Structure 1
Amino acid sequence: MAMNGHEGGVADTARALRSGALSSETLTRHLLERAEARQSLNAFMALQPDLALAQARAADRALAAGEAPGPLHGVPLVLKDNIDAAGWPTTAGTPALADHRPPQDAPVVAALRRAGALILGKNPLHELAYGATGNNPCTGPSRNPYDPQRIPGGSSSGTAVAVAARLAPAGIGTDTGGSVRVPAALCGLFGFRPSAGRWPNAGIVPISGTRDTAGPLARHVEDLLLIDEVVTGDTATPTRPLSACRIGVPDAFFWEQLDPDVAERGRATLETWRRQGVTLVEKPIPDLATLLAPASMPLVFYEGIQDLRRYLADSGCGVTLNQVVEGTVSPDVHGLLAMMNDPQQGVPWEQYLDILRHRRPALITAYATYLAGNELDAMAFPTCPLTARAIGEDDTVQLNGEAVPTFPTLIRNTDPGSTAGLPGVTLPMGLDRSGLPMGIALDALPGRDRVLLALARELQNHLPETPPPAAAG
């Protein structure tokens, strides 16, 4: 690892710190200088250099005194700005929460700190995490390090930018419909969505308690495994040869209407894995679109209002739900929240109960039948149907010569598994002809998180290397 440290991932940075090859203060100062020099990317919502450096010096002193280091001792990480961290604002990228400073860490953050991590900064997001571009009028757009005129994806936009531009070894985002995996794919990163409920949701500005989860973005699968272990305590890393692995390829829905470069690279990736001994099972999930529609967005439309009201009350921030809704500045988010908060337009209780009792279980059953019934370790599909589009194309984007709606297109392939609560991981599969990253995703059965990550670790060895962006130079 380079002694300046910015190319290092979490695990190798932690090893360098423990060995004395690198100090936390030196690394933190270097990353802060890089962040200062790359402000135009809009990767950070909040930086507190004095606080970060004080934490780094304390970590160095503890190591010099012989204190047993945790697995993340002295490693700087970044947080999406909808995750509570004591001493830091949690604005969720919306004006009404500009002064919100939670008194305590979210459990996810507390686990990272117990392992020795320090918080380098907090990252901007699509307002209240309700979007997939990262174009937020409240904070300004975050910019893709591979082409600053393009979106990084969202809603964990700034977190992806910070990690891809080598401003931090890794970061924690949140994922409700694809908000970790979409920006990871568009920025050339690995991103992991844990099974619903595997990571604690407390202390995170919510969208849907049923669907929400925090998850890491990193430049190495090894780091996803390490961070998941720190948060959950699960140390299992079950591996078996690729020749014993079976991966489903659901052509219908997931492999339709793709950008030509994404389709070509995706198929080439599958063929590479096949040559390594993976058995590919090309079968669709029957009636997926029909099962998804009544269980997906209606769930968000009901829980979004109820869960946000609960978070505001529990946080003691003194801000009401109506103040948040009325204060939103993103046209897409404002219109959506106003609709959800209108008793005449929102999802009624009876429909919500039907989703929980029948609609979502039917979708979960379809996935279980597909994955378990075909004895699949995972299913594979392009993370996003297209690569990063220009900033400002918030309503529609061009795909194969047709104007298609931006948000549902970006999350089309990640949303079904999110709704069903599946674990999912995206792996970078190189750059398209114009130099933009593309990702391929794997979903597995709930609870098979470590199996999925171990499989991703093996498969990453058979993917083209994704070069760093020019912004990382």
Structure 2
Amino acid sequence: MTWTVDEQLALSATDAVAAIQSGRLKATDYVATLLARAAALGTLNALTVIDLDGALAAGRRIDALPASARAQLPLAGLPIVVKDNINTAGLQTSAGTPALEGFVPGTNARSVQRLIDAGAIILGKANMHELAFGITSTNLATHARPVRNPYDPTLIPGGSSGGTAVAIAARIAPAGLGTDTGGSTRIPAALTGTAGFRPSVGNGGAERRYNDPDAVVPISHTRDTVGPMARTVADIALLDGVITGEGALPTVALNGLRIGLPAPLWEGLAQQVEDVARAALKRLEAAGVVLVPVAMSELNDLNGMVGGPIAIHEARDDVNAWLVANQAPVQTVSELAARIASPDVRAIYDAVIAGSLDAHYEAALNHWRPLLQAYIAATFADERLDALLFPTTRLTAVPMDEINGSSTVSIDGAPPIDTMEAFLRNTDPASTSGIPGLSLPAGMSAHGLPVGLELDGPLGSDRRLLAIGVAFEQLLGTLPPPVL
């Protein structure tokens, strides 16, 4: 069978694997098509490194396998991108910051290795907000550069996993890995019309779904996790199943699902976001989903006591530990911070080094976080909810500030607020409490920009949450690709 370029670019991860497993599509042909796409769309700055020779060699190895062996690989020949703060043996892991430019770890992160063992092929490393400390991906490091939204290159794509999201939305890759501390897989997914998943973290240990010790340039061991990103929820479920070893998704019917609508996360939305989200609710309700308004009046106040103190305090020791464990070219946070390129990230690291929130850390971790976790768990139990649902972000993609790397935003003419605060409000509670969260496309705004909906589930309900996401996706559909 001869595949056109457009046919290859349109393949979902699931469909691409099936075509390669069956021999209908050669992995080398598919890889070559996507590498050419990456080169042609270089101005989007989606990737910091392209592994041309390595990806083609991996494709040849897949094609050389006997048909029976190829058919046994769950990700046979699937090209992916990996965020540049996730360790990859033989490929740069710079976290988008000058002090780590060109640094190559000795081993792969566990999540990466499991994808490779299943037949995945790394096309390259995905660009990101410098050191993952931001939600715009306006990276001012010269080896990274600002990541651009493929629906409008003057707009942010979201972050910090902006490069992974843009590569997927722009059809450079069908899927990839990001990381998520406060919303970094879900925010860029929402702003680029793709899907992003934050798996359960809980209190660590057995509750942590993905375990990648010392393999991600960190912010916070309490909050950080690797997360898969793709154009469909079904493709995220495919990658999640490979990473965890879990099988088929449970069966979920829309009719009778009880979905909570937390009032604080439906307030203060841009009108265009609210219009798309409310239209999606009508379609879900018509399909039999039971929408349950829940007050959750304490949610934002509780969450506000947790997130900042944990991230700012833990970054200092966690980054130091990663630098030493991985024999990085700089060995201390101070050395790393001295070369930060993006002003917004430099300001955060000034606070990290100064320990400006240290006095609040113990209370945030041991008092306020358990209260938040109990509050959310009680909401699920008392209301008999399968999931919570709300717009992933309060507004669509906003103009990029290429001088400061971050800026304030105004929602429908309201007084300006901090960009990070505006975009993190809805995604942060799942992050601080450790529950799973999934962003999937809800539709396009009147201005032609993607809008995302987030589903949050009880701790450990990841496969069921993904199954609900697949059911929602089948009803709401996917979004048209950007015109590039």
* TM-score normalised by L of structure 1: 0.96
Q: Distance in 2 between matches of 1:385 and 1:185?
A: 10
| Counterpart in the other structure of 1:340 | 352
d(CA) in 2 for partners of 1:66, 1:217: 27
Partner of 2:321 in structure 1?
310
Show the counterpart of 1:386. Answer: 395
Structure 2 residue aligned with 1:6? 9
Q: Residue in 2 aligned with 1:133?
A: 136
Which one of the candidate residues 18, 23, 30 is aligned to 1:27?
Answer: 30
Distance 2:247 2:56 in 1: 31
| 1:399 alignment partner, SS class | coil
1:296 match: 307
CA contact (8 A) 2:161 2:179 kept: yes
Paired position in structure 2 for 1:55: 58
CA-CA distance at 1:2 after TM superposition: 5.5
1:460 deviation in Å? Answer: 1.0
Q: Secondary structure in 2 aligned to 1:217?
A: strand
Shift of 1:240: 3.0
Aligned partner (choices 423, 436, 439) of residue 436 of structure 2: 423
Greater mean deviation of Cα atoms: 391-400 or 293-302: 391-400
Judge conservation of contact 2:21–2:70 (CA < 8 Å) in 1.
no
In structure 1, the gaps of 5 or more residues are: none
1:123 paired to 2:126: yes
1:400 aligns with 2:375: no
Q: In the alignment, which residue of structure 2 is the partner of 1:247?
A: 259
* 1:318-368 deviation digits (Å, cap 9, x = unpaired): 41221111111111111111111114x2414xx323222211000000100
Q: 1:65 to 1:224 in 2, by over 3 A?
A: closer
Pick from 141, 144, 150: which aligns with 2:149? 144
How large is the Cα RMSD of the aligned pairs? 1.4
Which moved further from structure 2: 407-416 or 288-297? 288-297
Aligned to 2:452: 439
Distance 2:114 2:253 in 1: 32
1:379-436 CA distances to partner (integer Å, 9 max, x unpaired)?
Answer: 1000000000111172211211022211110111000111000101111012111111
Report the Cα offset of residue 464 of structure 1.
4.7
Task: Give the aligned partner of residue 108 of structure 2.
Answer: 105
TM superposition shift of 1:236: 4.7
**Bigger Cα displacement from structure 2, 378-387 vs 399-408:** 399-408
1:193 aligns to 2:198 (yes or no)? yes
- Paired AA for residue 465 in structure 2: L
Q: Which residue of 1 is the match for residue 461 of structure 2?
A: 448
Residues 156 and 397 in structure 2, CA contact (< 8 A), matched pair in contact too: yes
Residue 51 of structure 2 contacts residue 122 of structure 2 at CA under 8 Å; is this kept in 1?
no
Is 1:95 aligned to 2:77, yes or no?
no
Decide whether the 8 Å contact of 1:143 with 1:152 is kept in 2.
yes
Q: Which moved more, 1:331-340 or 1:315-324?
A: 315-324
- State the SS of the aligned residue for 1:172: strand
Aligned-pair CA distance for 1:3: 4.7
1:373 equivalenced with 2:382 (yes/no)? yes
Secondary structure of the 1:400 match is coil
**Number of aligned residue pairs:** 467
Q: Matched residues in 2 for 1:262 and 1:160: separation?
A: 19
The verdict on how the C-alpha distance between 1:230 and 1:193 changes in structure 2, with shifts beyond 3 A counting, is same
The one of 173, 177, 183 equivalent to 2:182 is 177
- Shifted more, 387-396 versus 211-220: the winner is 387-396
8 Å contact from structure 1 (residues 2, 8) kept in 2: no
Deviations 1:188-211 (A, max 9, x none): 001111011211132111111111
**Structure 2 counterpart SS, 1:77:** strand
1:249 is paired with a residue of what secondary structure? Answer: strand
CA distance in 2, matches of 1:332, 1:234: 39
**Inter-partner Cα distance in structure 1 for 2:116 and 2:59:** 12
Question: 1:124 offset after TM fit, Å?
Answer: 0.8
Kept after mapping to 1: 8 A contact 2:22/2:71? no
1:163–1:169 contact (8 Å) kept in structure 2 = yes
Does 1:221 find its partner at 2:230? no
1:86-135 per-position Cα deviation (integer Å, ceiling 9, x unaligned): 11000000011113110100001111011111101111100000000010
In 2, Cα distance between the equivalents of 1:23 and 1:68?
A: 13
The verdict on how the C-alpha distance between 1:9 and 1:464 changes in structure 2, with shifts beyond 3 A counting, is: closer
Give the SS at the match of 2:122: strand
Residue 64 of structure 1: how far off its partner (Å): 5.0
Q: For the structure 1 residues 447 and 65, does the alpha-carbon distance in structure 2 shift closer, same or farther, using more than 3 Å as the test? A: closer
Q: 1:2 to 1:191 in 2, by over 3 A?
A: farther
TM-score (norm 2): 0.94
Alignment-mate amino acid for residue 186 of structure 2 = R
Cα 1:236/1:359, change in 2 over 3 Å: farther
Q: Does 1:457 align with 2:460?
A: no
Q: Percent identity?
A: 43
Distance, in Å, in 1 between the alignment partners of 2:153 and 2:66 is 39
